[in-house]
Structure 1
Amino acid sequence: MTKIKPVNERELVLGILMEVTEKGQYSHLVIRDVLGKYQYLDKKERAFITRVTEGTLEHMIELDYILDQFSKVKVKKMKPVIRNILRSAVYQLKYMDTVPDSAVCNEAVKLAVKKGFSGLRGFVNGVLRSTSAGLGQVRYPSDPVEGLSVRYSMPVWILKLWLQSYDRQTVETMLEEFQKEKPLTVRVRPSLENIGEGGGRPPRGTGAEAVWPEVLKLQKELEGEGIRLEPHPYLPYACYLSGQDYLGDLQSFREGRFSVQDVSSMLVCEMAAPKPGDVVIDVCAAPGGKAVHMAEMLRGTGSVEARDLTAYKTGLIQENIDRSGLSNIQARQMDARVLDAASAEKADIVIADLPCSGLGVLGKKTDLKYNVTEESLESLVKLQREILTAAKAYVRPGGKLVYSTCTINPSENLENVHWFLEQNPEFALRDIRESLCEELKGDVQEKGCLQLLPGIHKSDGFFLACMEKGLPQRSN
């Protein structure tokens, strides 16, 4: 008797694509929810769902361009279900050698029929057969910017924006990096004796001395579970994690022995360099990685208040706090734009990792590039300045304001810093070079700012700046 599968992976892929492309949902959240619901699927099936969904979204401009070469009905005129069935099928044809072309075509036709489009089975079959036969002859646009847009599925306006600030080679390097499959970056939780008296990391050695014992211990443990943990070159507690399926299945993750966090985010805390007893306010903290990191660096002293706008976001922060087991940190729901008079000049460190265009993390949030607009960039800059205006009030004299974004757009980064310093002369850039590894010191701008670029640096695209509030001048 033939066993009928309870769920079809391609149907789940279609459902995710419909949620993202037609309803505007965030792909990483929809994928997470679907994989959580269907945890009983084996690792191979879950990997297929993730790869096809993320790959289809990542390459969507190119896939639409290819489809328009072989279909009499242009992609924009197709019914949404058929459009997404064809997109995911062409992704498999072009980028997945492990799936036979005939199987891709047959499964797409079956799915179209199952979704009530039996009258279009011939259309779906014909387009995909033609595409399969002609993929090698597809001609890409000759215009340099249009060519980059199609090959790397990046909107033209974003490319033009980047080319105003970066040379073509740098832009193409970033585009290539966005499309590479990369391991997860995690932060391994150290024991208190390895955090260092100044709150930051102790001086780095070389070789084995540059990696903390907790990393080596976790590395050996995970190796027994078929999972690879490799040290990151920038920080002794940062690592690459690969080979995992569902993090929630790992006891070490549930116990809070490591957290998912990009190394760029870890550098925020390194730059802040908290001292035992410091009071820290993180004004846009969700999901809480930096706030928990700061609480660890305080060695159980001081306090960290991790704030965010909604109950959902503060719930995410609380999950991270609960997993960490730390008692010197709390989550609080608050609008970062609204001045909290009770916190005026109470914080030694204010973390302002603010809402931004996210143009530095397009490799992780593949659908973001289709939703952000030129108009939204202007409104984001305005929002960032509103939050900075409120957040500055919480910094006590001699304290630090650390500003960061996960974008590579200068108007949200260095230009915002210049604006802030002009408006607030009591603040000045603090030299961050001693907080960084040798590989990054040469990239520091104006002694207190660091722009990380995908493919150029071993991190997400990310901007960091550390500004110090001067002590009051004594009168004679």
Structure 2
Amino acid sequence: MTKDKTTKDMADSVNEREIVLDILLELNRPEAMSHLVIGAALKKYQYLLKHQRSFITRLAQGTLERRIELDYIINQYSKTPVRKMKPLIRSLLEMSVYQLKYMDNVPVSAVCNEAVKLAGKRHFVNLKGFVNGVLRNIARNDCTCEYPDQKKEPVKYLSVRYSMPEELVAFFKKQADDTTVESILAGFYKEKTTYIRCNTKKLTVEELKAHLLSENIQAEAVEGLPYALKITGYDYLLACESFQRGEFFVQDISSMLAGELASPAPHDRIIDVCAAPGGKSMNVALKLTDGSVEARDLTPLKTQLIRENIARLGLDNISVKEWDARVSDTASKESADIVLADLPCSGLGIIGRKPDIKYHTDIEKIEQLASLQREILTVVQEYVKPGGTLVYSTCTISRSENEENAAWFEKNFPFIRDGSAKQLLPGIDGTDGFFMVKFRKKL
């Protein structure tokens, strides 16, 4: 028996919907992170065919993204409200309704029949009729339901329409005007683009494009970022030979722009105070000749992740240090030409990539995060040489964490802004939500 036939036989024996169901049940744990859970499942089933992996990813991510809307629809067709359902039955109905509403190429019969089979297989034989009845009724009505009135209940309408918790919708409405808020919410659902940063110490961008093409991956240049490529057509990126050879790393445009803002000189010494997984450190390190980067983070797990990425790329001008950014390092005082401070934040700008964030965000804790950022900035500003640069950035769209913290920093420390702050917004700027501002230390 050939290897290809064995792989195909293994793939044919797998129930993709059952894998998705297990992913969703795992994501019911408050501490679970969707990108890690989905990634672990795909790694476990590496032998699956490309279309199977795509189905699993889309269904798991889509169900999680649309959970509030899916529950709203189910509640209009079920006598038992979703909050009273067994977790497995609730997740099974959610993923099935997602297929009915958002996956036109999946037959209704397949959705309903497979859901009923899974209910029985997972020891809910007595609920097979319930599952079948609810799904058939929803399918018969084309998933239609009565949404909240947009004028009378604007917050609830946006909550259901974009599957965003009401308290977060209300929070966003305090940050921006209604048109911008809806653009942001819609932006979270736009197709995610994958960008990579070429390891220009190993090869040119054109050479990388040729290598990618040999692996059936299409690559396009990115305007204004000569080392960046937009890629499509890949299956499991971590398995690509060009990735394993360290020819590139994945990095969003917004994160690359933070490196552009830092604008390091070839000989600069740079400290990245919250560096994991190392993208910004590697980006700026590739701009240096005999300069150096010290990448720091809080835990052994995070620093190990940085080391693994550096080793894969073969970069020898980055050192790694386990350090709590809140603790002053007297040996580093006024030693850095550039300090990168991409600090822990609420992550509201990357909900499109990590939808679990919206379900676990506590609005009250956003102010605590803003306070933590100030605590860290108070310490790390000491590391900047007179005339040197500090770049403060977050992946959120909260004023208290962004513009208000920037104003506070400028008021309380001997720094002046070098140019305007940049707030990138999903659905408007074509990137993740990201804030960055550059400060120059007074001489």
Is TM > 0.5 for Structure 1 vs Structure 2? yes
Partner SS state of residue 21, structure 1: coil
- Please report how far the alpha carbon of residue 256 of structure 1 lies from its aligned counterpart in structure 2 after TM superposition: 2.0
1:427 partnered with 2:437: no
Q: What corresponds to 1:80 in structure 2?
A: 87
Q: What corresponds to 1:38 in structure 2?
A: 45
| Superposed counterparts of 1:172-183, under 5 Å | 172-183=182-193
Distance in 1 of aligned mates of 2:345 and 2:435 = 11
Q: What corresponds to 2:386 in structure 1?
A: 397
Q: Is this contact kept in 1: 2:165–2:359, CA < 8 A? A: yes
Q: Is this contact kept in 2: 1:454–1:461, CA < 8 A? A: yes
- Please report how far the alpha carbon of residue 181 of structure 1 lies from its aligned counterpart in structure 2 after TM superposition: 1.8
Q: What corresponds to 1:70 in structure 2?
A: 77
Distance in 1 of aligned mates of 2:175 and 2:304 = 38
- The structure 2 residue matched to 1:160, chosen from 159, 163, 170, is 170
Q: Is this contact kept in 1: 2:100–2:143, CA < 8 A? A: no
1:10 partnered with 2:20: no
- The structure 2 residue matched to 1:224, chosen from 214, 227, 230, is 214
- The structure 2 residue matched to 1:374, chosen from 351, 363, 367, is 363
Distance in 1 of aligned mates of 2:201 and 2:208 = 13
Q: Is this contact kept in 2: 1:234–1:263, CA < 8 A? A: no
Q: What corresponds to 1:470 in structure 2?
A: 442
Q: Is this contact kept in 2: 1:321–1:330, CA < 8 A? A: no
| Superposed counterparts of 1:425-464, under 5 Å | 426-431=414-419, 448-464=420-436
Q: Is this contact kept in 2: 1:429–1:466, CA < 8 A? A: yes
Partner SS state of residue 7, structure 1: coil
- Please report how far the alpha carbon of residue 422 of structure 1 lies from its aligned counterpart in structure 2 after TM superposition: 1.4
The superposition leaves residues 268-288 of structure 1 with CA deviations (integer Å, 9 ceiling, x where unpaired) of 111111112211110100000
Q: What corresponds to 2:308 in structure 1?
A: 319
Q: What corresponds to 1:200 in structure 2?
A: none
| Superposed counterparts of 1:253-402, under 5 Å | 253-299=243-289, 301-402=290-391
Distance in 2 of aligned mates of 1:337 and 1:3 = 50
The superposition leaves residues 58-80 of structure 1 with CA deviations (integer Å, 9 ceiling, x where unpaired) of 10110010000001000111010
Distance in 1 of aligned mates of 2:319 and 2:252 = 22
Q: What corresponds to 1:240 in structure 2?
A: 230
Say what the alpha-carbon RMSD is for the aligned residues: 1.7
Comparing 158-167 with 351-360, greater Cα deviation is found at 158-167
Q: Is this contact kept in 2: 1:9–1:49, CA < 8 A? A: yes
Q: What corresponds to 1:19 in structure 2?
A: 26
Paired AA for residue 247 in structure 2: R
Partner SS state of residue 259, structure 1: strand
- Please report how far the alpha carbon of residue 138 of structure 1 lies from its aligned counterpart in structure 2 after TM superposition: 1.0
Partner SS state of residue 90, structure 2: helix
Partner SS state of residue 87, structure 1: helix
Q: Is this contact kept in 2: 1:400–1:469, CA < 8 A? A: yes
Flag the 1:84–1:24 CA change in 2: closer, same or farther, 3 A: farther
Paired AA for residue 125 in structure 1: N
- The structure 2 residue matched to 1:170, chosen from 174, 177, 180, is 180
- Please report how far the alpha carbon of residue 177 of structure 1 lies from its aligned counterpart in structure 2 after TM superposition: 1.6
**What is the TM-score normalised by the length of structure 1?**
0.88
Distance in 1 of aligned mates of 2:418 and 2:159 = 38
Paired AA for residue 101 in structure 1: V
Partner SS state of residue 185, structure 1: strand
Aligned residues: 432
- Please report how far the alpha carbon of residue 5 of structure 1 lies from its aligned counterpart in structure 2 after TM superposition: 4.5
Distance in 1 of aligned mates of 2:427 and 2:435 = 15
Distance in 1 of aligned mates of 2:312 and 2:263 = 23
The superposition leaves residues 153-209 of structure 1 with CA deviations (integer Å, 9 ceiling, x where unpaired) of 1112222222223222222222222112222111123359xxxxxxxxxxxxxxxxx
Comparing 340-349 with 69-78, greater Cα deviation is found at 340-349
Distance in 2 of aligned mates of 1:3 and 1:187 = 35
Comparing 412-421 with 217-226, greater Cα deviation is found at 217-226
Distance in 2 of aligned mates of 1:225 and 1:320 = 21
Distance in 2 of aligned mates of 1:229 and 1:391 = 38
Comparing 330-339 with 249-258, greater Cα deviation is found at 249-258
Q: Is this contact kept in 1: 2:391–2:439, CA < 8 A? A: yes
- Please report how far the alpha carbon of residue 4 of structure 1 lies from its aligned counterpart in structure 2 after TM superposition: 9.3
- The structure 2 residue matched to 1:249, chosen from 231, 239, 256, is 239
The superposition leaves residues 297-320 of structure 1 with CA deviations (integer Å, 9 ceiling, x where unpaired) of 112x12111111111111111111
- Please report how far the alpha carbon of residue 232 of structure 1 lies from its aligned counterpart in structure 2 after TM superposition: 2.1
- Please report how far the alpha carbon of residue 241 of structure 1 lies from its aligned counterpart in structure 2 after TM superposition: 1.1
Partner SS state of residue 328, structure 2: coil
**Among the aligned pairs, what percent are the same residue?**
54
**What is the TM-score normalised by the length of structure 2?**
0.94
Q: What corresponds to 1:122 in structure 2?
A: 129
Paired AA for residue 257 in structure 1: E
Q: Is this contact kept in 2: 1:348–1:399, CA < 8 A? A: yes
- Please report how far the alpha carbon of residue 39 of structure 1 lies from its aligned counterpart in structure 2 after TM superposition: 0.4
Q: Is this contact kept in 1: 2:336–2:385, CA < 8 A? A: yes
- Please report how far the alpha carbon of residue 265 of structure 1 lies from its aligned counterpart in structure 2 after TM superposition: 0.6
Distance in 1 of aligned mates of 2:10 and 2:166 = 48
- Please report how far the alpha carbon of residue 403 of structure 1 lies from its aligned counterpart in structure 2 after TM superposition: 0.3
Paired AA for residue 451 in structure 1: Q
Q: What corresponds to 2:3 in structure 1?
A: none
Flag the 1:414–1:4 CA change in 2: closer, same or farther, 3 A: closer
- Please report how far the alpha carbon of residue 136 of structure 1 lies from its aligned counterpart in structure 2 after TM superposition: 4.7
Partner SS state of residue 127, structure 1: helix
Distance in 1 of aligned mates of 2:230 and 2:304 = 26
- Please report how far the alpha carbon of residue 322 of structure 1 lies from its aligned counterpart in structure 2 after TM superposition: 0.5
Paired AA for residue 146 in structure 1: K
Q: What corresponds to 1:133 in structure 2?
A: 140
| Superposed counterparts of 1:181-220, under 5 Å | 181-191=191-201, 214-220=204-210
- Please report how far the alpha carbon of residue 348 of structure 1 lies from its aligned counterpart in structure 2 after TM superposition: 0.8
Distance in 2 of aligned mates of 1:291 and 1:219 = 23
Distance in 1 of aligned mates of 2:319 and 2:114 = 50
Distance in 1 of aligned mates of 2:258 and 2:49 = 37
Distance in 2 of aligned mates of 1:172 and 1:405 = 21
- Please report how far the alpha carbon of residue 122 of structure 1 lies from its aligned counterpart in structure 2 after TM superposition: 0.8
Distance in 2 of aligned mates of 1:3 and 1:137 = 38
Q: Is this contact kept in 2: 1:398–1:470, CA < 8 A? A: yes
